């Protein structure tokens, strides 16, 4: 019987990992290029819809996030909130401030525009992130990128979280997303990092399509 030595196993794992990451990056580039082509008419539609509702602000919103290895990246999204959304945080009630500090979002956010409610519900607001994928800031599949201060919630697992490229969708995003508590989110994101594989990525993509169609977890 052919036996594999411990040394052989150790040398094979890096090769398998490099192969996986190479396939993952090639897939990201293909999805990014095709996604950008399909995104152009969506961009036009969202812009026209904004104008029709009296919203003449910018189409995109760049949100500062933490990327791989703790590097700062700017997440591209369709703007779904009023232009002065950041300033309006100062007007939050004590209850709203507590909710925002706990979850980094509000369940009933008065800053969201009419068009914003629709594009969030359908997850269309995430479409411009094909630009992040092409740049290499993000992958199609991976843990969602965090805002500053949020990473501290991961405690001793902070470095583990920052060791991988964040994604457009992930194990948390396709398993309830906003319906989950933040503690559950951490568990799901870390599960993905511990079990990263081509098979799991494919499973996440199929689950994401189903979640988007059902509108499950999107707010």
Length of the chain: 219
Question: Residue 163 above 70 pLDDT?
Answer: yes
- Using DSSP's 3-state secondary structure scheme, residue 145 falls into coil
Domain boundaries, the chain: 23-214
Nearest to 155 by CA among 195, 194, 187: 187
At residue 69, φ and ψ (nearest 5 deg) are: 60, 20
Question: Residue 158 above 70 pLDDT?
Answer: yes
Whole-angstrom Cα distance, residue 141 to residue 133? 10
Distances (CA, A) of 122 to 88, 125, 198: 25, 8, 26
pLDDT tens digit sequence for 171-208: 998 887 767 788 899 999 999 999 999 999 999 999 98
pLDDT for residue 9: 42
pLDDT for residue 206: 92
pLDDT tens digit sequence for 111-145: 999 999 999 888 888 899 999 999 999 999 999 99
Residue 77 token pair: 């999204």
Least trusted range by pLDDT, from 70-74, 94-98, 110-114: 94-98
Rounded to an integer, the average pLDDT of 45-71 is 93
- Using DSSP's 3-state secondary structure scheme, residue 130 falls into helix
Rounded to an integer, the average pLDDT of 155-169 is 93
């Amino acid at each position: 019987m052919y036996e594999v030595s411990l040394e052989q196993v150790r040398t094979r794992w890096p090769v398998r990992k490099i192969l996986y990451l190479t396939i993952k990056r090639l897939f990201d580039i293909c999805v990014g290029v095709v996604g950008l082509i399909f995104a152009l008419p969506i961009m036009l539609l969202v812009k026209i819809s904004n104008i029709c509702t009296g919203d003449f602000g910018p189409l995109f919103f760049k949100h500062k996030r933490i990327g791989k290895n703790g590097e700062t990246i700017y997440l591209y999204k369709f703007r779904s909130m009023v232009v002065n959304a950041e300033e309006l945080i100062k007007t939050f009630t004590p209850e709203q401030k507590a909710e925002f500090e706990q979850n980094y979002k509000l369940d009933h956010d008065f800053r969201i525009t009419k068009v914003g409610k629709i594009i969030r519900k359908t997850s269309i607001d995430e479409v411009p992130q094909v630009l992040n994928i092409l740049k290499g800031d993000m992958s199609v599949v991976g843990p969602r990128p965090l805002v500053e201060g949020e990473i501290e919630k991961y405690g001793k697992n902070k470095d583990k979280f920052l060791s991988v490229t964040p994604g457009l969708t992930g194990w948390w995003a396709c398993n309830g997303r906003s319906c989950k508590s933040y503690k559950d989110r951490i568990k799901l994101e870390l599960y993905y990092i511990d079990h990263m594989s081509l098979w799991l990525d494919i499973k996440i993509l199929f689950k994401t399509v189903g979640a988007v169609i059902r509108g499950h977890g999107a707010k």
